Chain A
Amino acid sequence: MSKKSSSLPPLSALQTTSLSLEYDGVRYIDDIDLSLEPNRLSVIMGPNGAGKSLFLRLLHGLIIPSAGQVFWNGVPVDDAVRQRQAMVFQRPVLLRRSVAANIDFVLNLNGNRHRCNDILDNIGLLDFANQPARSLSVGEQQRLALARALATEPEVLFLDEPTASLDPASILAIEEIVTQAHKNGTRIIFVTHDIGQAKRLAEEVIFLHQGHLAEHTPAQAFFNAPKSKAAEAYLDGRILL
């Protein structure tokens, strides 16, 4: 849990009301009402173009909805809420600096420097501390981006298909770090369209299709007997239009 927020009510419960996003007359997110209980590991699934990444950005307050609102424990998402959250993007955005300097950057923002080596040690990158961050392999870069996000001690961690282009060993490393963070009390919202990964991680699944919320179901029920036709077709490997 974040030290920053220790005196504030936790953010982990989420509610969206009639959340919509529209650009140039096209509705990318369409009237989503969703309530998430605290402390679950939630996985957002759906085919490409379903609006998963945009939905995640709306929840994190990176983009402003055309209509509707996002509440974290009753508080509308704003700068103060976003400061207590972190996000890992599909393509890791690393600063043009050393591996250690990437971690130090966020530790300095929080006024906390001394943990850098521990953090790098935890993710197995201590030996690369002084190496340019962008010279790491993509898997290592994503691990660093994840460690950097966790170094901010977020209450909520968003992950937008963080393992989309990674090798199996890197995927496993990322999943282990995410699972550990979840056990330590960080609320995880993970976007993926990898069904196997969703099965490994999810406690509940939010399935989006064409910007709509098709269903929100506990993970086991979702994979055994999805309620929506869209999710059923997706799990069957049929192409969804």
Chain B
Amino acid sequence: MQEFSDALLLAFELIFSGDKDLIEIIGLSLRVSLTAMVVACALGLPLGAILAISRFRGRRPVLVILNALMGLPPVVVGLLVYLHLSRAGPMGSFGLLYTPTAMIIAQVILILPIIAALSRQILEDLNAEYAEQFLSLSVPRRAVISALLWDGRYALMTVALAGFGRAIAEVGAVIIVGGNIDHLTRVMTSAIALETSKGDLPLALALGFVLLLIAFAVNAAVMSLRLTTGRYANV
């Protein structure tokens, strides 16, 4: 117990002293996960919108698969990306394995189904409201998609944050494709795993607190966005 409270104290010292290693790890974590979120949104939101307004044979199985992919195990994604990026893999020549880019790719694959599936649900509801009016106005398909994405923007921000939350908290994928290399690919989750196994509890705890803080901040942002959405639902 004494050891735990000492570690806790040291963790706070690390955080408040602005420890260089700690800052570097937090910075990389945010850079990787925010980039993954932006890329996944750029791909996933239009995909969700297209699925929301399209009716085609086999749509239901596609939606079932997409929903199932929301629960992709990070280690499996890590393994698949590893196989593609490793020297013997089809994309081995790019030399991306054990780089932040590889970690971003893995996280994009991990959260893309979340962004696409959740946005599909939101935009399908919105489209149900707009569809007849848009048909009457003969709105072109591309304009329908951009109108849905724009008018659903508040709800879609919560989707983006849900994706970010999933990306920043996962460890399985980044540790496989990033390799947890110090000063290069070490992020909060992989560092916590390493430091805990090494017995360096203060750094692990400090990172754990920051990760928790980020999780709280993301949740608070989601909640306040929902409130804003409620307030400006009229907009």
Contacts and interface: CB of A to CB of B under 8 A. Distances in A.
Interface string B123-145: 00000011011011111100100
Nearest to B153: A96
B133 A79 contact: no
Interface string A116-150: 00000000000000001111000000000000000
Contacts of A62: 132, 135-136
A135 B139 CA distance: 24
Interface in A72-102: 79, 82-83, 85-87, 89, 93, 95-98
A69 B231 CA distance: 46
Contact of B233 (A83, A87, A95, A96): A96
Interface in B100-147: 129-130, 132-133, 135-140, 143, 147
Nearest to B126: A96
Number of contact residues on A: which range applies?
20 to 34
A87 B234 contact: no
Number of contact residues on B: which range applies?
10 to 19
Nearest to B134: A93
B88 interface: no
A8 interface: no
Contact of A93 (B129, B140, B143, B152): B129
B130 A93 contact: yes
A82 B136 CA distance: 7
Contact of A86 (B130, B137, B150, B235): B137
A214 interface: no
A86 B136 contact: yes
Contacts of A152: 137
Given A96-B235, A109-B138, A132-B235, 19 more contacts: A82-B135, A82-B136, A85-B136, A86-B136, A87-B136, A89-B132, A93-B129, A93-B130, A95-B147, A95-B151, A96-B151, A97-B150, A97-B235, A98-B235, A109-B139, A109-B140, A134-B234, A134-B235, A152-B137
Interface of A: 60, 62, 79, 82-83, 85-87, 89, 93, 95-98, 105-106, 109, 132-135, 152
